[in-house]
Structure formats: C-alpha cells, structure tokens
Amino acid sequence: MNINSDYSKRVVINHNDLPWVASPESGVDRRMLDRIGDEVAKATSIVRYQSGSKFHSHSHDFGEEILVLEGVFSDEVGDYPAGTYIMNPPGFTHAPYSKTGCTIFVKLRHLGSDQVDREVINTKTACWYQGMVPGLNVMPLMQQGSGSTLVRWAPKTYFNQHRHYGGEEIFVVDGMFEDEHGRYPAGSWIRSPHMSIHQPFSIEGCIIFVKTGHLFS
C-alpha cells in the first residue's frame, strides 16, 4: 500500500477530512497520512483507541514517535496523558492500550541507529526556549540524532523565508498556522519536500509539531 509515498511532492491534509479505517485490532482505527507498506509499514497516521481497546504486543524495527493528542494512551511501561511525546527506539517492544480512549499522532519505522534510548516528555510541563524571532518559542523533543520539536507561535509572529534541506513535516496541534501557500488549522499535516521554501507566520497563534531533514526521496 502506498499513500502519499512520493516525498518529492508537497502534501497538505487535515486529518479531520479523512475517514477512519479499522486496524486489525478491534476498537483501534486509523487515518493514514502517508504510508509505504501494508500492515508493517513506514507510515504517518492519526490513531484512535476506543475505551478499553488494545493492540497486540509488537516490536518496532525502525522505531516510532508518538504525540498524544487526546485522552490517555498506555502500555505496560506507563500511562501517557494528552501532551505526552514518546520516542520508542528501534527494536522496542510494547503492547499499547487505552482504558478511557485516546487519539495519537504516530510516525513509524523512520528512526535509525542514533536513536538508542527511549524518551518520554510531558510537553505540558517541559520548558520552552526562546526561538529565532520574537514571539517564537521551541521545545526540543527527540534528543538523539535528528530531533523533532514543538514550536509555539504567539499571535502576529512572523518568520523569515527559509529553505528546508531534507524537507519539513508539520502537524498543527492547536491554533492556526500559515504561510504564503495557505492557512492550516489544528489537525492539519503539511509535508514539504527537500529544498522547499516558505515564509511561515501565525496571526492567531498556534502550536505545531515540526520534523526536518528526513524527507529525502
């Protein structure tokens, strides 16, 4: 199965416009943003666990990143409320579930040998740092290798035009993100290819998950 598998093309999707697709496990549904492969796949998805649902124990050969959007996500290691970021390194095994239901943003099978230790960050309590322009704050997430970052834009914040070597992937967690190409409300996923250029800003303010440098064709 190939969904938005050509990394040379820009893709913009609001996941709320996509249908839920049942997974092999009862009560676990997905909205697929990009995918290369069938059930074992390099993929970016929104995953919804209904209350009491669970997934069988499985390992991640090339790791995974998770951002909990709503509810409480759990596995045998712990419970992760909304706002939790998790990086499970290559080879990590778990059996995830949710007692009360949850929705998560997930990236599968894209990590490498420089990601060794599991990382868990509560973004509701972790520190924000000053960004490159006034009104911009950043929260580094994955600490090993080419990391992911949470970025908070105050209202009426503008960034310089810039180019992304290795591309850029953005998921809008809250608010309204913008650039010269359009407006992107919460739930939007934007994948921009290697060497793409844009000039982002936010009139109303927003929080976005950003990953760069990983989208070589």
CA distance 195 to 100: 42
pLDDT for 25-36, tens place per residue? 999 999 999 999
Give the distance from CA 45 to its chain's centroid: 8
pLDDT for 75-130, tens place per residue? 999 999 999 999 999 989 999 999 999 999 999 988 878 888 999 999 999 999 99
- The dihedrals phi and psi of 76, each to the nearest 5 degrees, come to -70, -10
pLDDT for 153-166, tens place per residue? 999 999 999 999 99
CA distance 80 to 75: 9
- Under the banding of pLDDT at 50, 70 and 90, the label for residue 217 is low
> What predicted TM-score, i.e. pTM, was given to this entire model?
0.96
- Which domains are assigned to the chain? 2-6+18-122 (2.60.120.10), 129-212 (2.60.120.10)
